[in-house]
Amino acid sequence: MKLQLALDVCTIEEGIDLVESVRDYIDIIEIGTPLILEHGLRPVALFKERFPEKLILADAKIMDAGEHEAKLCFAKGADIVTVLGVAHDSTIAGVVKAAKAYGKQVLVDMIDVHEVRSRALEIEKLGVDYLCVHTAFDIQSTGVNPLDELRLITSVLTTGKAAVAGGVKVATVGDIVKEKPEIIVVGGGIASSLDPVVSAKRIKEIMEGK
């Protein structure tokens, strides 16, 4: 089980400082969509160079031109690239093709997928590595949590692995761990906490059953 730190609402310098402080507890560094929109793929290369022992995920949220856009990310050092589950199968297949060419991985973001069970089965057949249930930032305040969809996805997957994102923090990670996803994504639950190091350490301890 891997802990992924999402870097979204921060500067590159703030992100580097945060990762330096919690690097002992995280496995994957996510270069979030806001960072990519502001700086392009430069942060992907910068963080890969600075933290070569960590997996780098480029949250490109690809919706079209799958193979081409994925290649851009992998060429900059991304180990994992995201594509949206609502994208066309051919787009997802293109991302998978690019990943195989680079020896890297694909995570499908299931944000706003309505028929989760049937779509997960379709996507898994395309050869992706991870399917991520994702409670959108814009609806987290409604109290929605990703647990139900996580249970649904873990019950149907046979080759792909589950990931979970959206509002995860120290208080909620215990229930998520029980479902045994391969990746747990935490953003504000670490970055915006009073003590990011304490929060990251505690989340990792819970993931390890301590």
Total-model pTM: 0.95
Q: How many helices (H) and strands (E) does the chain have?
A: 10, 8
Instruction: Tell me which CATH homologous superfamily contains domain 2-207.
Output: Aldolase class I (3.20.20.70)
Q: What is the pLDDT of residue 1?
A: 97
Cα-based distances in Å from 74 to 10, 34, 132, 180: 23, 18, 19, 28
Q: Where are the domains of the chain?
A: 2-207
Tokens of 26: 């995280």
Query: For the segment 104-123, what is each residue's pLDDT rounded down to a tens digit?
Result: 999 999 999 999 999 999 99
Q: What is the pLDDT of residue 143?
A: 56
Nearest to 35 by CA among 72, 61, 3, 66: 61
Q: What is the DSSP letter of 138?
A: G
